[in-house]
Amino acid sequence: MRAIRVTRLDGPGAMEMAEIDEPVGDGVVVDVYAAGAAFPDALLTRGRYQYRPEPPFVLGAEIAGVVRSAPEDAHVRAGDRVVGLTMLTGGMAEVALLSPDRVFKLPDNVSFEAGAGLLFNDLTVYFALSVRGRLQRGETVLVHGAAGGIGTSALRLAPVLGASRTIAVVSTEEKAAIATAAGATDVVLAEGFKDAVKELTGGRGVDVVVDPVGGDRFTDSLRSLAPAGRLLVIGFTGGEIPTVKVNRLLLNNIDVVGVGWGAWAGTHPGALSEQWAALERLLSSGELPPPEPVVYPLERAGAAVASLENRTAKGKVVLRVRD
Ligand SMILES: NC(=O)c1ccc[n+]([C@@H]2O[C@H](COP(=O)([O-])OP(=O)(O)OC[C@H]3O[C@@H](n4cnc5c(N)ncnc54)[C@H](OP(=O)(O)O)[C@@H]3O)[C@@H](O)[C@H]2O)c1
């Protein structure tokens, strides 16, 4: 089969297409039609993610496709359209082998390409907003990195989970258009976002901040929270891991909340399937629009992952593996 391999930890430029054997073992075998690309893939190509597989390895954490075979007691069977998580490698290939508890039936109204782009981010954001962020009906949500994978997912999900307003933070006007298309109520530029948010909210601030970026904007995010607001720590694409002066939490009764979706799934059996059941209902009913990813052919996987690393990606990035 064709697969995208990392053979040395030199970044996305060193990713290569290879002809390798199909995976064998117990589990669900899926003919992959599309595979998601996410920021952790870029980190994996440099050995900078918390999980560090030894090269050579096949990249790819999430897929959509058709089940070729499944164990008798699995909840899916041959012919089912599915999405699945590899946790965290093996997805950018024509065939993937997945644990049955990480494979989910894809609603008929969602394409393979949209499906490959929704699992990783939507499950994380659903967990972040509903469990860790305790989002309440009518609240306002500020979203950093709003034209990225986690960002566009937060813009799609927050209103469905009760938010009455979403304020997107992006670095360029071009990315503002992506955030608007993903459903943002308002869009502001990263430069000077604190003052813009203050003005938009009449000085009150926002109830929840979704933060996959971290870095030097963190303190201004804390300053943008209304009393009893929650800042959800999701990632550090900005590079620097911020520190919190805890007097800020006391002064304004605000929370900084960690969101480790993978760690939660690993320690809470059944959490993934519960999260998926909730998402699946929202997708099938049409309440939650599927993502509209930027699609690259499999042979351009290196460029796709590089666009995440060099900050040029506009929306969720997905690879078309077969037609
Ligand atoms: N905690 C969890 O459970 C969990 C789960 C999934 C993902 N994550 C993490 O969430 C983060 C976002 O992932 P993603 O797939 O959404 O990434 P993405 O699609 O690349 O989006 C990240 C956004 O970060 C912003 N950014 C700011 N500084 C950047 C820089 N120096 N380089 C690149 N981007 C920069 C960019 O927006 P602007 O240009 O508009 O600023 C970009 O759109 C990653 O750190 C990932 O590991 C965490």
Q: Which tens digits make up the pLDDT trace of 42-82?
A: 999 999 999 999 999 999 999 999 999 999 999 999 999 99
| Together in a domain, 199 and 249 | yes
Using 50, 70 and 90 to split pLDDT, how confident is the model at 295? very high
User: Ligand 1 centroid to 236 CA: how many Å?
Assistant: 7
Q: Which amino acid is at 119?
A: L
| Together in a domain, 295 and 233 | no
Mutate to test the pocket of ligand 1, among 121, 131, 144, 150 (most ligand atoms within 8 A of CB): 150
Distance CA 169, CA 144 (A): 5
Distance CA 156, CA 176 (A): 15
- Mean pLDDT confidence for 15-21: 98
Predicted pLDDT of residue 185: 98
Predicted pLDDT of residue 73: 96
User: Ligand 1 centroid to 289 CA: how many Å?
Assistant: 21
Predicted pLDDT of residue 298: 98
Ligand 1: list residues with CB < 6 Å.
38-40, 120, 124, 145, 147-151, 170-171, 175, 190, 212-213, 234-239, 259-262, 308, 311, 313
Burial-class residue 100 by CB neighbours within 10 Å (0-12, 13-18, 19+): middle
Closest-CA residue, ligand 1 atom 24, reads 145
Predicted pLDDT of residue 212: 98
- Mean pLDDT confidence for 4-27: 97
CATH of the domain at 105: 3.90.180.10
In a domain, 268, yes or no: no
Closest-CA residue, ligand 1 atom 33, reads 311
| Together in a domain, 184 and 237 | yes
Predicted pLDDT of residue 183: 98
Other C-beta atoms closer than 10 Å to the C-beta of 9 total: 15
Atom of ligand 1 lying closest to residue 49 CA: 47
User: Ligand 1 centroid to 11 CA: how many Å?
Assistant: 17
Domain that holds residue 167: 121-262
Of 262, 277, 308, the domain-final residue = 262
Predicted pLDDT of residue 108: 97
Predicted pLDDT of residue 207: 99
Closest-CA residue, ligand 1 atom 4, reads 234
Q: 14 with 305: CB under 8 angstroms?
A: no
| Together in a domain, 60 and 170 | no
Question: Into how many domains does the chain fold?
Answer: 2
Predicted pLDDT of residue 101: 96
Closest-CA residue, ligand 1 atom 25, reads 145
| Together in a domain, 109 and 132 | no
What are residue 39's phi and psi, to 5 degrees?
-50, -40
Task: Identify the CA nearest to 193 among candidates 177, 182, 211, 183.
Answer: 211
| Together in a domain, 253 and 311 | no
| Together in a domain, 197 and 252 | yes
In a domain, 281, yes or no: no
Predicted pLDDT of residue 213: 98
Percent of residues, the chain, with pLDDT higher than 70: 100
Atom of ligand 1 lying closest to residue 121 CA: 6
Predicted pLDDT of residue 320: 98
Predicted pLDDT of residue 179: 98
CATH of the domain at 231: 3.40.50.720
In a domain, 91, yes or no: yes
Please provide the distance, in angstroms rounded to a whole number, between the alpha carbons at the two ends of the chain. 15
In a domain, 280, yes or no: no
Predicted pLDDT of residue 172: 97
| Together in a domain, 185 and 307 | no
Burial 129-145 (b: 16+ CB within 10 A, else e): bebbbebeeebbbbbbb
Predicted pLDDT of residue 84: 98
User: Ligand 1 centroid to 235 CA: how many Å?
Assistant: 7
Predicted pLDDT of residue 152: 98
**Mean per-residue pLDDT of the chain:** 97
Atom of ligand 1 lying closest to residue 120 CA: 6
Predicted pLDDT of residue 168: 99
| Together in a domain, 88 and 162 | no
- Mean pLDDT confidence for 142-153: 98
In a domain, 178, yes or no: yes
In a domain, 284, yes or no: no
- Mean pLDDT confidence for 130-147: 98
Other C-beta atoms closer than 10 Å to the C-beta of 202 total: 7
Using 50, 70 and 90 to split pLDDT, how confident is the model at 243? very high
Predicted pLDDT of residue 209: 99
| Together in a domain, 99 and 154 | no
User: Ligand 1 centroid to 191 CA: how many Å?
Assistant: 17
User: Ligand 1 centroid to 158 CA: how many Å?
Assistant: 18
Closest-CA residue, ligand 1 atom 9, reads 235
In a domain, 275, yes or no: no
Task: Identify the CA nearest to 214 among candidates 190, 232, 238.
Answer: 238
Using 50, 70 and 90 to split pLDDT, how confident is the model at 285? very high
User: Ligand 1 centroid to 298 CA: how many Å?
Assistant: 22
User: Ligand 1 centroid to 65 CA: how many Å?
Assistant: 26
Closest-CA residue, ligand 1 atom 30, reads 238
For 110-124, the pLDDT digits (tens) are 999 999 999 999 999
Of 244, 262, 280, the domain-final residue = 262
| Together in a domain, 157 and 240 | yes
> If DSSP codes are grouped into helix, strand and coil, which group holds residue 303?
helix
